[in-house]
Amino acid sequence: MSEASSLIPVVVDGEHREVEPEVTGVQLFESDKNIIAVRINGQPRDLYTPLHAGDTVESIALDSEDGLAIMRHSATHVMAQAVQEIYPDAKLGIGPVIEDGFYYDFGVEHPFTPDDIKEIEKHMQRIIKSSQSFRRRTVTEAQAREEEAGQPYKLELIETAEDAINAGEDTAVSQGELSMYDNVDRDGTVVWTDLCHGPHLPNTRYIKAFKLQRAAAAYWRGDEKNPMLQRIYGTAWASKEDMKAYLQRLEEAAKRDHRKLGAEMDLFSFPDEIGPGLAVFHPKGAAIINAMKEYSRIQHRKNHYSFVQTPHITKGGLYETSGHLQWYRDGMYPPMHLDEERDTEGNIVREGFDYYLKPMNCPMHNLIFKSRQRSYRELPLRLFEFGTVYRYEKSGVVHGLTRVRGLTQDDSHIYCTREQMRDELKSLLSFVLDLLKDFGLNDFYLELSTKDEHKFVGSDEIWEEATDTLAQVAEESGLELVSDPGGAAFYGPKISVQARDALGRTWQMSTIQLDFNLPERFGLEYIAADGTRQRPVMIHRALFGAIERFFAILLEHYAGALPAWIAPVQVLGVPVADTSTEYLRGILDRLDESLVRCELDASDDRFGKKIRNASKSKVPFILIVGDEDRDNNAVSFRFRDGSQLNGVPADDAVAWINTAIESHAQISSAADFCAVTPAVQPAGIPAGSAQ
């Protein structure tokens, strides 16, 4: 047999090639040091994986999304190795990749301190410099149990993995088979081993830039019934420059943290007396909420929505009909058994009912639709409510205003015919995007969440029709569309609008869900033009999502410097001296009459301190008045960037402030202000420094 006939055919990055049998990615990509793994027939694999005839091979670069994930997962192994070399009795949990980083859970006697984290990081650096290679080997269940005999959490994972392997599913430590990864030193000595399905880097030197960030307590596998472990978080990047940029983004995000801003600006709090995830909004925070609601109400009225209101509590039977008690019970507060009556001997003479705090508004909106006979002439019927709902989030999941237990949804349910469905979805998506843009969010893409094969109601045909319709509407919007397989609610697929904020972070905003199932479960009907009874289509839509969460997103997006129209205080008056206080108060009273939110700094602080405090307050318009301004019936404007407009006639100032607020523009400077106020500015008003 000739040498050529012994070669095998493969496809490498789209190119048909013939290679030696058992060749690996190491040989194929020897000249490109940025290639750290391969995808063989669609599955990520190590570079050391041998190829077979007919394989399709795609290279994975270190700086690609998949490459970063592999590098970060390899960093978890290095971290776990360092921990066990420093703390030999440490028990290993799991070490997955997360957004922008990784973590590993450890069972240790004492919590990790900041000094411990520094020591572990230094030890990791020594391991990385030693160029240890990651080598995979498959093992049987018995072999895995023998090697992990002293590791109780790994033994639990092995048991779970065996069940998954038999069911044809993957786990954190298996992909059709159990495997171990050895960290091998340059001389061939195995220095450390972990149970893992991989893939990993060729060697530790490919971990170019990493940093351990913090330690925290975490329940094993996220279950409060399990032991508490210590979790170390870290991040890793393809270059030091990338990591530096990421850490700078983190620093900026910390400055913008809505919890920090909420305390500094006196907007909201979470009193211990009320409980976790249940916020109270202070006057300034409520001012923002009310501005958001008022604008939303106006836009909904313009788009022909009917406003409704429903209670916060209901009998459990309603959620049995909807399916929430079957599919969503863990996210609901426990029931309250009420209305039971007993006689003097304790015998039940009237059965009681289980009542639940409502987690969703849709079942109650269905009852409104069903309350009387409906005609096709009423459709589409658009019901809208600011409905407060309650969801029992675990304490470890609750996070500021972005994950709460009590939340208010700007919730809408649209009932329409099959023929109206597509046009209604198109106009609805346009309405959603336009309103979000009004709040200053402009960078969007769409996500299509499809059926969870293990958690759904209704027929496959209905799901297919609903999914195809949503996909067509999303594609026609012209926005990028990405898939979220299995991410739909149990009753129907959804489009979610994803928005990027000022830091480039992505937030899920509005959701639009197409539902053929709840109308069926509730027996909803309308009388069609031909006199027959027909089932309406139901569209679920939350525009802000949760008002509390949207509040937090806006606060971080603007770093607290909200546009004037939703700012908690729109105008702050600062008199230079007491002699001008009453004059300034009169101007603020005029603004107050037009519902501008004003404050006056009438404190005993010196003028310089008042200006410094005003600059920190993030108020869009600071009106400064001295005796000369008073005598000339004028004011001076100071803006967030420190620029000023001096000697503005008081009547113009009042009119311009109202115009600027109505514009919904973000105004941070004198130039911004002049751009949205009347084109003819009074002569002789220079931009200058403070008086």
Q: How does pLDDT run across 422-448, given as a tens digit for each residue?
A: 999 999 999 999 999 999 999 999 999
- Contact between residue 51 and residue 57 where contact means Cβ atoms under 8 Å apart: yes
Residue 557 counted as an annotated binding residue: no
Q: Where does 502-633 have alpha helices with state H? A: 517-522, 547-557, 581-593, 607-616, 627-631
286 Cβ contact partners less than 8 Å away, ≥ 6 residues apart: none
Residue 691 has pLDDT above 60, yes or no: no
DSSP 31-50: T-TTEEEEEETTEEEETTPB
**Whole-angstrom distance, CA of residue 674 vs CA of residue 631:** 24
User: Between 3.30.310.50, 3.30.980.10, 3.40.50.150, 3.40.50.20, what CATH number should domain 65-253 receive?
Assistant: 3.30.980.10
For 468, list phi and psi in degrees, rounded to 5.
Answer: -65, -40
**Considering only CA atoms, which of 385, 330, 379, 381 is closest in space to residue 362?**
385
pTM for the whole structure: 0.82
Tens digit of pLDDT for each residue in 142-159?
Answer: 999 999 999 999 999 998
Residue 400 has pLDDT above 60, yes or no: yes
Averaged pLDDT of the chain: 91
Residue 174: predicted pLDDT = 66
Per-residue pLDDT, averaged over 303-324, amounts to 94
**Considering only CA atoms, which of 380, 339, 359, 393 is closest in space to residue 542?**
359
Residue 681: predicted pLDDT = 53
Q: Where in the chain is the domain with CATH 3.40.50.800?
A: 571-676
Catalytic positions: 362, 391, 409, 411, 413, 494, 540
Per-residue pLDDT, averaged over 469-486, amounts to 90
Q: Where in the chain is the domain with CATH 3.30.930.10?
A: 297-340+350-556
Whether CATH 3.10.20.30 fits 8-61: yes
Specify the pairing of strand 571-575 against strand 598-600: parallel
pLDDT confidence band for 686 (50 / 70 / 90)? very low
Per-residue pLDDT, averaged over 474-478, amounts to 90
Residue 463: predicted pLDDT = 86
Q: What are the CA-CA distances from residue 483 to residues 167, 445, 454, 494, 681 (Å)?
A: 25, 11, 18, 11, 52
Q: Where in the chain is the domain with CATH 3.30.980.10?
A: 65-253
Tens digit of pLDDT for each residue in 565-616?
Answer: 999 999 999 999 889 999 999 999 999 999 999 999 988 888 889 888 888 8
Per-residue pLDDT, averaged over 40-66, amounts to 93
Q: What are the CA-CA distances from residue 284 to residues 262, 269, 287, 553, 607 (Å)?
A: 10, 12, 5, 17, 24
As its CATH architecture, domain 571-676 has: 3-Layer(aba) Sandwich (3.40)
Amino acid at 357: L
Q: Where in the chain is the domain with CATH 3.10.20.30?
A: 8-61
Dihedral of CA 658/662/667/669: which sign? negative
Residue 271: predicted pLDDT = 94
At 399 the three-state DSSP class reads strand
297-340+350-556: CATH topology is: BirA Bifunctional Protein; domain 2 (3.30.930)
Specify the pairing of strand 341-342 against strand 353-357: unpaired
Residue 5 has pLDDT above 70, yes or no: no
**Whole-angstrom distance, CA of residue 379 vs CA of residue 385:** 18
Q: What are the CA-CA distances from residue 194 to residues 84, 199, 222 (Å)?
A: 11, 12, 21
Residue 492: predicted pLDDT = 83
**Whole-angstrom distance, CA of residue 635 vs CA of residue 627:** 10
**Whole-angstrom distance, CA of residue 521 vs CA of residue 491:** 10
At 175 the three-state DSSP class reads strand
Residue 339 has pLDDT above 90, yes or no: no
Residue 413 counted as an annotated binding residue: yes
